[in-house]
Amino acid sequence: MDIVYIRDLRIETIIGIYDWEREVKQTISLDLEMEHDIMRAAETDDIQYALNYKSIAKRLIAFIEASEFLLVERMAEEIASIVRNEFSVPWLKLRVSKPGALRGSQDVGIIIERGERS
């Protein structure tokens, strides 16, 4: 199985359950690992056979910046759905974190895996 990844994609959005969180944008960070067979792209050196991580990042940035979630769990499920359905990714591992959300901690968040590995 080949993996295409995006690490520490930082996006500003409204996220959280507390009143103050609903009034200010916070930074969330995404780490995304996506299964994709890279052989054809490697053989042809042609972007049409690659998993275009720039297109994925742009789609997720636009989606998250326009969203207002209460929970990172819901955000993670929506992100996974977009990546799997719109970019034909059969398996992914996603880490969503909120840097600085918990005093004394670098960040907090969740990690999910969706789909079946080859």
Please list the active-site residues.
Answer: 98
Q: In what order do the strands lie in the sheet with 68-69?
A: 68-69, 3-15, 26-35, 91-99, 107-115
Residue 1, CA distances (Å) to 36, 104, 112, 118 in order: 7, 37, 18, 6
Tokens of 9: 């994609």
